[in-house]
């Protein structure tokens, strides 16, 4: 059983409290769960709109401490058996690959920049988890910084129409997330079933990106 939580706030509240710092956002979400340190397990995703921001969270435990700004909405998410048919999904990912460095034992993690490379990276990872990507729309990479962390994030928002071939593997993605930087707003996958028939709307929101 999981909790789906929406922390809604104005754009001014978001900028005043987080200053666009991805680590401060992480700390803000972390603080929602109070002293439950051993039980904290959550994924989240920021949705920045024109005048407001929604932080969507999937968590093992309920909110313990209400924030001093914004509003909290929540519902239970049973993550029950996943039927093997089509879904529309939303996610934000940190698409990186390991590349060898000349004269170095350890490889370097390099963010992908080209749209084709990012979408191929995403399709490959979904395929390994029993999912076929039929349509995909991705945003340009966004470089995000933190005053307290000495590394940048390169995040990409993705919408896709997918066909689930293995419901149990897809369920693990929903529960555990996809890719790296899951502590910093990446990896949460939100899914809306489209139905078993072929007669459904498959348009993606290109205007969002």
**Predicted confidence (pLDDT) per residue in 58-74, tens digit:** 998 899 999 999 999 99
pLDDT of residue 127: 95
**118: pLDDT strictly greater than 90:** yes
* Model-wide pTM > 0.85: no
pLDDT tens readout for residues 119-174: 999 999 999 999 999 999 999 999 887 777 767 789 999 999 999 999 889 989 99
Q: Per-residue confidence at 195, pLDDT binned at 50, 70, 90?
A: low
Q: What percent of the chain has pLDDT over 90?
A: 59
**23: pLDDT strictly greater than 50:** yes
Interatomic CA distance for residues 78 and 58, integer angstroms = 11
Q: How many residues does the chain have?
A: 209
**206: pLDDT strictly greater than 60:** no
Interatomic CA distance for residues 31 and 15, integer angstroms = 18
- Contact by Cβ (8 Å): 143, 181: no
152 SS3 class: coil
Are residue 73 and residue 166 in the same domain, yes or no?
no
Are residue 124 and residue 175 in the same domain, yes or no?
yes
CATH number at residue 62: 3.30.70.1200
- Contacts of residue 177, Cβ cutoff 8 Å, sequence gap at least 6: 43, 186, 187, 188, 189
Q: Per-residue confidence at 84, pLDDT binned at 50, 70, 90?
A: confident
Considering only residues 140 and 2, tell me which one the structure prediction assigns the higher pLDDT. Answer: 140
- Tell me what the pLDDT averaged over the chain comes to: 86
Q: Could you list the residue range(s) of the whole structural domain that residue 16 is in? A: 2-77
Are residue 69 and residue 158 in the same domain, yes or no?
no
Tokens 């001014």 map to which residue?
A: 12
Are residue 35 and residue 128 in the same domain, yes or no?
no
Are residue 111 and residue 196 in the same domain, yes or no?
yes
Q: Which residues of 8-37 are buried (b: 16+ CB within 10 A; e: fewer)?
A: bbeeebbeebbeebbbebbebbeebbeeee
Are residue 91 and residue 62 in the same domain, yes or no?
no
Are residue 91 and residue 176 in the same domain, yes or no?
yes
pLDDT of residue 198: 46
Domain boundary among 34, 51, 77: 77
How many domains, the chain? 2
Domain boundary among 46, 77, 108: 77
CATH number at residue 105: 3.30.70.1210
Nearest to residue 5, comparing CAs of 62, 67, 49?
62
Are residue 94 and residue 70 in the same domain, yes or no?
no
Domain boundary among 77, 108, 130: 77
Are residue 94 and residue 170 in the same domain, yes or no?
yes
> What's the whole-number mean pLDDT along residues 177-192?
92
Considering only residues 161 and 203, tell me which one the structure prediction assigns the higher pLDDT. Answer: 161
Are residue 18 and residue 70 in the same domain, yes or no?
yes
Strand 2-10 and strand 52-59: the pairing is antiparallel
- Contact by Cβ (8 Å): 72, 7: yes
DSSP for 161-185 reads EEEES-HHHHHHHHHH-SSS-GGGT
**177: pLDDT strictly greater than 90:** yes
Are residue 42 and residue 93 in the same domain, yes or no?
no
**204: pLDDT strictly greater than 60:** no
> What's the whole-number mean pLDDT along residues 99-104?
71
Are residue 56 and residue 6 in the same domain, yes or no?
yes
Q: Per-residue confidence at 200, pLDDT binned at 50, 70, 90?
A: very low
């Amino acid at each position: 059983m999981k909790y789906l939580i929406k922390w809604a706030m104005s754009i001014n509240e978001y900028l005043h409290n987080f200053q666009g710092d991805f680590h401060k956002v992480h700390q803000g979400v972390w603080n929602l769960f109070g002293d439950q340190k051993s039980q904290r397990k959550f994924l989240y995703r920021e949705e920045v709109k024109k005048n407001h921001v929604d932080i969507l969270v999937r968590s093992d435990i309920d909110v313990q401490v209400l924030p001093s700004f914004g509003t909290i909405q929540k519902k239970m998410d049973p993550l029950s058996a996943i039927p093997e048919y089509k879904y529309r999904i939303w996610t934000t990912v940190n698409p990186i690959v390991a590349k060898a460095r000349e004269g170095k034992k350890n490889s370097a993690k390099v963010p992908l920049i080209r749209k084709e490379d990012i979408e191929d990276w995403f399709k490959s990872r979904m395929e390994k988890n029993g999912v076929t990507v039929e349509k995909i729309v991705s945003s340009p990479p966004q470089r995000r910084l933190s005053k307290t962390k000495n590394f940048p994030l390169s995040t990409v928002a993705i919408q896709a129409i997918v066909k689930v071939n293995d419901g149990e593997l897809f369920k693990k993605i929903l529960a555990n997330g996809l890719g790296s930087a899951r502590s910093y707003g990446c990896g949460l996958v939100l899914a809306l079933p489209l139905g078993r028939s072929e007669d459904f709307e498959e348009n993606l929101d290109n205007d969002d990106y």
